Amino acid sequence: MTETMDISITKAAESKISQVDLDNPQFGKVYSDHMFIADYADGEWKDLRIVPYGNINISPANTTLHYASTIFEGLKANRSANGDVLVFRPEANAKRMQESAVRMCMPPVPQELFMGALDELLRLDSQWVPSAPGTALYIRPFQLAMDPYIGIRPSDTYQFLIITGPVGAYYAEPVKVKIETNYTRAAKGGTGFAKTGGNYAAALKPAVDAQKEGFNQLIWTDAKTHEYVEESGTMNLMFIKNDTLLTAPTGDTILRGITRDSIIQLAKDKGMKVEERPIKVTEVIESIKDGSMQEAFGAGTAATVAQIKMIHHEGTDYNLPPVEGWKYSTDFLDTLNKIKTGAIPDPHSWIHKI
């Protein structure tokens, strides 16, 4: 179906792959040989092309540079034992990017365009998909307004691009997080559910401050009361309490993570109890204190599962039980890795083979 899409291909004169240690890629440092670009103008997507990875030309008056009219996605491709390139749930990313686009007043990229571009790009750069355990090809689709206009209104022109690059593990060890009760990431009616640039720019200072204090990440709380935990910087937040999987419901302020959704499904498959409900900070703290909190972890594409060994709240460190004994999150990570690499069956048709 997507084979018929008209994408022009200009190949890189020389591949950079021999200069890259594919077994030990650093997150976000290296990009593959090619990128995909499509232009939007006159109400349609056109000039679909794959070109050598490189700089793009932008007017200093480009509206995105001034007003953050930009959205993105993040997903991964893995290599299976028999050499296939397997992408995890790309249709879900295509759909979420459309939802972000609607919120940001951008023309949604049609699913066929998203999938067709991805297929063609990964076919061309398939040798960039690493195979060492813990590695993957990170895929970054994004869309930006292109009008050279510094007035405030939706742009008439846009670009949709995809770049990719090999990555290793995001967090090598269990993380320490701080519950943020001063700054706010997202408020009701805002853009928290959209993967849009401004959310991340606004979250930088709180995150950097927390890092200076020795924490890897923040746990955001609700904007109004700071009494409920919401999510982490680039991960949804999950807990195991009394053998139940506990996570906050998504909505305006919490991004609908695909890893989150996948883990909820795996938990249900295993017959586990799952509760999606508002979670109070006091419940988290009390459950750690009384021992009913067994595990805490972040769920997101970059890290898949990032186990949390300590949660800080207003001057006090609360240590979770030793991570070595955690069976649930370890099992979710293991199962997801096996599905992603084709090592076990894929009962929910999550895998898209290139």
Q: How far is the CB of 328 from ligand PLP (least distance, A)?
A: 17
Q: How far is the CB of 98 from ligand PLP (least distance, A)?
A: 14
Can you tell me which of 5, 41, 67, 74 binds ligand PLP, judged by CB under 6 A?
74
Can you tell me which of 120, 147, 180, 231 binds ligand PLP, judged by CB under 6 A?
231
Applying CB under 6 A, does 352 fall inside the site for ligand PLP? no
Nearer residue to ligand PLP within complex by CB, 7 or 263: 263
The DSSP letter of residue 29 is T
Nearest-5° Cα angle at 21, 19 to 22: 115
- How many Å apart are CA 17 and CA 37, to the nearest integer? 21
Nearer residue to ligand PLP within complex by CB, 164 or 234: 234
Nearer residue to ligand PLP within complex by CB, 176 or 185: 185
| H/E element, 293 | strand 293-300
Half-sphere exposure of 120 (CA within 13 A, CB side): 27
Nearest-5° Cα angle at 291, 290 to 297: 125
Site string for ligand PLP, 27-56 (x = CB under 6 A): ------------------------------
Indicate the SS3 state at residue 115: helix
- How many Å apart are CA 215 and CA 239, to the nearest integer? 19
From the list 115-123, 206-214, 230-238, 274-282, the region that binds ligand PLP by CB under 6 A is 230-238
Q: How far is the CB of 149 from ligand PLP (least distance, A)?
A: 28
The amino acid that residue 110 corresponds to is P
| Footprint on residues 93-152 left by ligand PLP (CB under 6 A) | none
Size of residue set near ligand PLP by CB under 6 A: 14
| Footprint on residues 175-204 left by ligand PLP (CB under 6 A) | 195
Nearer residue to ligand PLP within complex by CB, 48 or 284: 284
| Footprint on residues 234-263 left by ligand PLP (CB under 6 A) | 234-236, 255, 257-260
Best CA proximity match to 267, nearest among 348, 324, 349 = 348
Phi/psi of residue 140, nearest 5 degrees: -120, 90
Nearer residue to ligand PLP within complex by CB, 108 or 257: 257
Nearer residue to ligand PLP within complex by CB, 185 or 313: 185
Please enumerate in sequence order all residues whose Cβ is within 8 A of that of 61, keeping only pairs 6 or more positions apart, or say none.
Answer: 148, 149, 150
- How many Å apart are CA 149 and CA 169, to the nearest integer? 40
Please enumerate in sequence order all residues whose Cβ is within 8 A of that of 173, keeping only pairs 6 or more positions apart, or say none.
Answer: none
Q: Count CB neighbours of 290 within 10 A.
A: 8
| Footprint on residues 286-345 left by ligand PLP (CB under 6 A) | 299-301
Nearer residue to ligand PLP within complex by CB, 34 or 185: 185
Tell me which residues touch ligand PLP (CB under 6 A): 74, 195, 231, 234-236, 255, 257-260, 299-301
